[in-house]
Amino acid sequence: MKDQYNVAIMGATGAVGQVMMEILAERDFPLAELRLLASARSAGRELAFKGEKLVVQELSEASFEGIDIVLASAGGALSKQYNPHAVAAGAVVVDNTSAYRMDPEVPLVVPEINSDDLAHHRGIIANPNCSTIIMDVVVWPLYQRRRVKRIVVSTYQAVSGAGARAMEELEQQTRAVLAGEAADPEEFPHQIAFNLFSHNSDVGPEGYCEEEVKMIRETQKMFHDDQVQITATTIRVPVMRAHSEAINLEFAEPYPEQEAREILAQAPGVQIVDEPASSHFPMPIEASGLDAVLVGRIRQDISRPDGRGLDLWVSGDQLRKGAALNAVQIAEVLVARNMLQAAESV
Amino acid sequence: MKDQYNVAIMGATGAVGQVMMEILAERDFPLAELRLLASARSAGRELAFKGEKLVVQELSEASFEGIDIVLASAGGALSKQYNPHAVAAGAVVVDNTSAYRMDPEVPLVVPEINSDDLAHHRGIIANPNCSTIIMDVVVWPLYQRRRVKRIVVSTYQAVSGAGARAMEELEQQTRAVLAGEAADPEEFPHQIAFNLFSHNSDVGPEGYCEEEVKMIRETQKMFHDDQVQITATTIRVPVMRAHSEAINLEFAEPYPEQEAREILAQAPGVQIVDEPASSHFPMPIEASGLDAVLVGRIRQDISRPDGRGLDLWVSGDQLRKGAALNAVQIAEVLVARNMLQAAESV
């Protein structure tokens, strides 16, 4: 067992890649080498890491020589193309794209929920969708006490989920609108400044967009429960980098609010912010930069007089727990449990 | 029966008051006189109406002499203080505040839903909360075909609901944040630029804020159905003047999506915007300035395999149908049905 690891970031110059670098530094991940991989366009750029300058390398099939762990966040197509080469080179890939999430042979993991699923990996581990992670980190501890039968969730998703250029677009569009100019959408199909719209992923035959389907199926997979029924409405809002969600939960039996509070107060990765006297509840500007998902407005669902419902309001950093942090946490578990070789032993 | 009416607007210089003037002009309301009432601070200001300048008068107990209809939107405290004087002077008050909405002797009316309730008025008619109106204009036509058992609603509320100064605050704060300066909240307890937060009305002992309680109780009152169960999470978003809502409906029996579409296509005050191929669904920037509430993302709730659920996404102009337009529509029904004298005949 090594005590230092060679890590590569695929998509190092993207919004998630940048936060992966921050988090590896903050958490003092035991690095021997950090290799930054990106497209030819970004190759040669220098990025600071712990006081040193690292040169971005162009992603290629040969990029993974000597690498132990790949943190992949360059889009599903590139993951499909390059992950097999990374695995062949002996690396384990923690993949932040949607390419492998529903593959039954690929563990889909949030460490607070199902880290034991990592034992079955064959070289690729999938990081869930950001909205899924932020919901499930809060729902799972409640579920462990009493089974969730049904979830109705509405999201308020930051633009960071669409990447660094989408974040620039929100800023540029907002300046334009304030100056009385046209918004000129490029990354999104509609104006995002002072506006919001249904998540622009493709809508399937059942009327759900892909983002909503991800929240449904990924939750069922991680909870190992195909019976948990979920409906979701995913909405993009003019916020930079934390997703918020209104979550309505129906349980198999009555769930006292006080008990939910006690469970959430102890839950890993969760922080309660629930101060009615000062109208202080989870907000994206306060969740940004935090590791914990904030939860508040914890209340018995008044529409279920049988006491089997709870309502929650959460906010979590899309780039951290929703993406980069969760990926690094998976890598930490792989290291701590000495699971980096599993790919070859299976 | 007259053919022209003397109308007073209480709170004429506010965000809703201004839109009341626009709508009276647009709809050619049969006016003999339009009297603009506001606080001493605004008295003397001149406001344009149909090419003429009208001088704002200071609101006083004597303001209602000769007035047939008062459109009141100056806040609950002023309504409580002045409405009795208006009624004593022979006027009917259409009150846009929350002061009288749950008074069992005061009709609470959305004309598309329960205009017959106007017959029982005693001089004051309440205009519902904006989030309630925008939800119920869409839910009611569906409810008429099959009873709604339960509603789970999450709102995305524009700043206009907090008044003209809140709209200025969103703009000023956004400029400040883009310039790297502090946001300095005044109208709201928290930064609204690039942020969102739980509606800052008081939270009661059951954990619901007043805005949510309004949506619940006002819907039950207008539908004449105390059995419809509702839970709501109301969120303020950095959008100027249209409220959006994710609405999950549970019915007493299966409700085919196609039937819901047919009903909504015919429903008064409702316009379907539901174009998955171009990812075009209701958006606040498109709902702003429209009379109709936009509805889209109409789909069978996949979490209810029994077919008894529908999901909807709506967006409606908070200042128009959510406030000023609904009030003027009530006045139009009062005129059309010759109900302005009911106050004295009861």
Domains of chain A plus CATH, in order, are 5-128+323-345 (3.40.50.720), 131-318 (3.30.360.10)
B225, B237, B288, B301: best to mutate for the A interface, most A CBs within 10 A: B237
Q: How far is A192 from chain B (nearest CA, A)?
A: 9
Residue A344 reports pLDDT greater than 50: no
B158 three-class SS: coil
Query: What is the predicted pLDDT for the residue at B282?
Result: 98
d(CA A231, CA B302): 6
Task: Give residue for tokens 């047919």.
Answer: B262
Burial class (CB in 10 A: 0-12, 13-18, 19+), A95: buried
Whole-number mean pLDDT of chain A? 97
Q: Please give the average per-residue pLDDT across A104-131, as a whole number.
A: 97
Q: Do B300 and A235 touch (CB under 8 A)?
A: no
Is the CB of B298 inside 8 Å of chain A's CB atoms? yes
Beta strands (DSSP E) in chain A are: 5-10, 31-38, 46-49, 52-55, 57-58, 69-72, 92-95, 124-126, 148-156, 197-198, 229-233, 235-236, 242-251, 270-272, 293-300, 309-317
B26 three-class SS: helix
Tell me, yes or no, if A85 is annotated catalytic.
Answer: no
Is the CB of B206 inside 8 Å of chain A's CB atoms? yes
Q: Do B279 and A233 touch (CB under 8 A)?
A: no
Is the CB of B295 inside 8 Å of chain A's CB atoms? no
Query: What is the predicted pLDDT for the residue at B346?
Result: 41
Query: What is the predicted pLDDT for the residue at B341?
Result: 76
Return left, alpha or beta for B28; rule: phi > 0 is left, psi -120 to 50 is alpha, else beta. Answer: left
Task: Give residue for tokens 């889009």.
Answer: A75
Q: How far is the CA of A206 from the CAs of A202, A226, A227, B315, B327, in angstroms?
A: 11, 18, 18, 22, 38
Query: What is the predicted pLDDT for the residue at B84?
Result: 97
Check: complex ipTM more than 0.90: yes
CA A191 to chain centre: 24
Q: What is the mean pLDDT of each run of 10 residues along chain B (346 residues)?
A: 93 96 98 98 97 97 98 97 97 97 98 97 98 98 98 98 96 98 96 98 98 98 98 98 98 98 98 98 98 98 98 98 98 96 50
pLDDT-derived band of residue A2, with 50, 70 and 90 as boundaries?
Answer: confident
d(CA A223, CA A230): 12
Q: Which of A303, A311, A304, A319 is nearest to A282 (CA)?
A: A311
Tell me, yes or no, if A209 is annotated catalytic.
Answer: no
Query: What is the predicted pLDDT for the residue at B2?
Result: 84
- Beta-carbon-side half-sphere exposure of residue B184 (alpha carbons within 13 Å): 10
The neighbouring-strand residues paired with B247 are B153, B312
CA A152 to chain centre: 19
pLDDT-derived band of residue A338, with 50, 70 and 90 as boundaries?
Answer: very high
Q: Do A198 and B297 touch (CB under 8 A)?
A: yes
A328 three-class SS: helix
First CA to last CA distance, chain B: 18
B257 to chain A: which residues are within 8 Å by CB?
207
H or E element that contains B309: strand B309-317
Give the other-Cβ count within 10 Å of A306's Cβ.
10
Query: Helices (DSSP H) in B248-290: which residue ranges?
Result: 257-266, 284-287
CA A278 to chain centre: 30
Q: How far is B166 from chain A (nearest CA, A)?
A: 14
Q: Which of A335, A336, A325 is nearest to A21 (CA)?
A: A325
Which 148-187 residues of chain A touch chain B by CB within 8 A? 150-152, 154, 156, 170-171, 174-175, 178
User: Do the beta carbons of residue B213 and residue B201 sit within 8 Å?
Assistant: no
Residue A268 reports pLDDT greater than 50: yes
Beta strands (DSSP E) in A162-292 are: 197-198, 229-233, 235-236, 242-251, 270-272
Q: Do B229 and A152 touch (CB under 8 A)?
A: no
Q: Show the CA angle centred on residue B211, arms to residues B209 and B216, nearest 5°.
A: 95
DSSP3 helix / strand / coil % (chain A, rounded to 5): 35, 25, 40
Stretch among A199-203, A339-343, B47-51, B276-280 having the lowest mean pLDDT: A339-343
Residue A218 reports pLDDT greater than 80: yes
Q: What is the pTM of this model?
A: 0.97
A148, A257, A297: best to mutate for the B interface, most B CBs within 10 A: A297
Which 114-153 residues of chain A touch chain B by CB within 8 A? 150-152
CB-nearest partner of B284 from A151, A195, A283: A195
CA B62, B67, B72, B74 torsion-angle sign? negative
